[in-house]
Amino acid sequence: MEKITAEEILDELSEDTDLRAGLESLPRLVADTVQSLTPMDTGEARRSIEVKGRKLPYKRLSYRRIKIGEVYSDDDPAKINTLEYGRSASDDNGATPEFAMFRRAAELWDDADLDEI
């Protein structure tokens, strides 16, 4: 029985277009999760959740971590910060709850089994 090296496995995975498409779709799925955790008032914050994909396609997979995309909001940073972290009662505008939509989405996806997606 011939042994397959890790390098050969990575080479094979690098040529797998289904795997690449799956990897490239993950940032959009994460953004959908953030949107679902964002509270609905006027809907502006929810609509402001965007995905910035990787500009250059990666040539091959490796053991190194690669950035496949970024989820962010293009809404007012102070507003998003307030939604994410909340405000204390001592704030001039009063207290608001912490929704932690980005942090909760990160925790959910950190524990996700990608085979089930």
For 13-50, the pLDDT digits (tens) are 777 878 778 888 889 999 999 999 999 877 899 999 99
Do 48 and 75 contact (CB within 8 A), yes or no? yes
Sign (positive or negative) of CA dihedral 6, 13, 60, 54: negative
Q: Which two tokens stand for residue 19?
A: 């795997």
Residue 113 has pLDDT above 80, yes or no: no
Residue 71 has pLDDT above 80, yes or no: yes
- Reported as a single tens digit per residue, the pLDDT across 83-111 is 999 999 898 888 999 999 999 999 999 88
Residue 10 has pLDDT above 70, yes or no: yes
The rounded distance, in Å, linking the Cα atoms of 88 and 86 is 7
The rounded distance, in Å, linking the Cα atoms of 106 and 24 is 17
